[in-house]
């Protein structure tokens, strides 16, 4: 006897805002729509073979997180054209601000966090996920998820007035 799942459209209707919000928070305004679409496509493909229907929202947001990370990995491999290639060898460049977050002092501080802390904070406070779901999305334990969020909040408290 298989798991009785609701119609996929019911899932879309219930969670499309959460998926879109997380996709835009993690991938930015340019790639956010593409990430959300990719997440829905992957979810639709995997939906018929799903073994449990206990936390469908968490399952969708985990897929969205993984799609966003794929976009970031792709950006790192993509060539960036420059007018003056010689200027690139003149010394270490300052780290670029993360363009995937909104403007403002809070978001600038969030963008400056180490990547795993930033991801944990976005999953916790933008996607409103619990620590076991964050841990599953990041491939870590719930205790480490709590630690990442705690360390990020401590840094933000120290950096913000």
The domain locations on the chain are 1-77, 101-161
Q: What is the pLDDT of residue 85?
A: 60
For the chain, give the mean pLDDT: 82
- Residue 95: DSSP 8-state: P
Query: For the residues 67-96, what does the mean pLDDT come to?
Result: 64
Question: Is the pTM here over 0.85, yes or no?
Answer: no
For CA atoms 8, 145, 131, 136, give the dihedral sign.
positive
CATH code linked to domain 1-77: 1.10.1740.10
1-77 and 101-161: identical CATH topology: no
Q: Which residues contact 142 (CB under 8 A, 6 or more apart)?
A: 131, 132, 134, 135
Q: Predicted confidence band at 107 (pLDDT cuts at 50, 70, 90)? A: confident
Looking at domain 101-161, its CATH architecture is Orthogonal Bundle (1.10)
Q: Is 158 exposed, middle or buried (CB count within 10 Å of its CB: 0-12, 13-18, 19+)?
A: exposed
Q: What is the pLDDT of residue 79?
A: 66
CA distance 40 to 59: 11
């Amino acid at each position: 006897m298989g798991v009785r799942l609701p119609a996929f459209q019911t899932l879309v209707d219930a969670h499309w805002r959460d998926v879109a919000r997380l996709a835009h928070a993690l991938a930015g305004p340019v790639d956010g729509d593409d990430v959300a679409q990719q997440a829905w496509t992957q979810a639709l493909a995997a939906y018929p073979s799903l073994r449990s229907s206990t936390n469908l929202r968490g399952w969708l947001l985990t897929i969205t997180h993984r799609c966003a990370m794929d976009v970031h990995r792709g950006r790192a491999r993509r060539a960036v054209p420059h007018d003056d290639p010689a200027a690139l060898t003149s010394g270490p460049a300052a780290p670029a601000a993360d363009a995937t977050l909104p403007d403002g002092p809070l978001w600038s501080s969030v963008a400056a966090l180490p990547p795993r802390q930033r991801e944990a904070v976005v999953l916790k406070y933008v996607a409103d996920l619990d620590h076991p779901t964050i841990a599953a999305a990041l491939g870590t334990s719930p205790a480490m998820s709590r630690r990442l969020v705690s360390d990020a909040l401590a840094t933000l408290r120290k950096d913000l007035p």
